[in-house]
Amino acid sequence: MSEPRTSADAFDSSFETADYDADAYAADPYGTVDQGLAEVIDLPSNGGTQATRSSRGRLQELDSLAGKIALVTGAGAPDGIGFAIATRLRLAGASVAIVSTTKRIHERAEEIGAIGFVADLADEAEVGGLADAVAEAIGEVDILINNAGLTSKTDPAVVKPVAQLSYADWQTEVTRNLDTAFLVSRAFVQSMAERGWGRIVNVAATTGVVTAVPAEAAYAAAKAGVTGLTKALATEVVADGVTVNAIAPGLIRTGSSTVPELQKGLDGPMGRPGSPEEVAAAAVFFCAPSASYITGQTLVVDGGKSLRA
């Protein structure tokens, strides 16, 4: 058990649619769309004809997260999904804060030039303290990745049939997989809405969202709840420039993967489990300024396994 952390000091460290000009579009469709998109997502536009613009530079600009501040939860494992997402956000230009329940988060932070925080995200007071600490250290969060909740070898999932599942077991799975996403989202979403820009990406799972397996009812219910939270929150802030989406990874090879899980990945359509980096690519896609017209969606990342009966 770690010591209580209930304050910042306890930590270790409307858009308006662009005008549409039909004649201008007919004369230069690429330039007109480029101009309009730049106005909608608040990016400078080069204007002019297609020949005078650098397509590569424009794409980099649309996908750049330079100047944005991101928070990734559950990023303590060096071979986990959270750390892979944090690494990709740094590569996209964002300033990144990462959080986990142990001090190993500082090692991960040093590896990618981020800042690490230790917190129990199932504790309402600690989440409030985290929000204050992050704002004080690097500023207001623009991008939130709710990855906390996945299990580890030292904290495995509760695997019991419903008839044998205690209420405490049920609460454990719901708390770490759904309550954490709710508490952290609530702590940061209002600030995003007030500033008129934000991205929230929740990490769900194929289990509970598109599939189910015996003896994992609590986990499935919690992850299905994550997608419900995603849709509901998306409707609340859609007019405030904030998008809320989810990703649903399937069998991903991480440090906490069991041999049976990896075997299931080998039996999938692609003949292998996925990698954390492949999940990270999907998550960071939702964060890009150019993804501003996507909200309330869940993207399945499972190599096509859920397509099989």
Please check whether residue 97 is in contact with residue 79, taking contact to mean a CB–CB distance below 8 angstroms: no
219 part of the active site: yes
For 137-175, letters b (16+ CB in 10 Å) and e give ebeebbbbbbbbbbbeeeeebbebeeeebeeeebebbbb
Contacts with 228 (C-beta within 8 Å, 6 or more apart), sequence order: none
What is the rounded CA–CA span in Å between residue 27 and residue 48?
Answer: 11
Report which secondary-structure segment, H or E, holds 218. Answer: helix 217-237
The tokens for 280 are 């990270």
Which is the catalytic residue, given 20, 25, 167, 219?
219
The residues with which 70 forms a beta bridge, in sequence order, are 96, 143
Interhelix angle 180-195/217-237, nearest 10 degrees: 10
Please check whether residue 136 is in contact with residue 18, taking contact to mean a CB–CB distance below 8 angstroms: no
Q: Which stretches within 41-73 are classed as H helix? A: 55-63
- DSSP string of 123-180? SHHHHHHHHHHHHHHH---SEEEE-TT---SSSPPP---GGG--HHHHHHHHIIIIIH
Please check whether residue 112 is in contact with residue 96, taking contact to mean a CB–CB distance below 8 angstroms: yes
Closest by CA to 246, choosing from 217, 204, 274, is 204
What is the rounded CA–CA span in Å between residue 141 and residue 153?
Answer: 30
Active site residues: 219
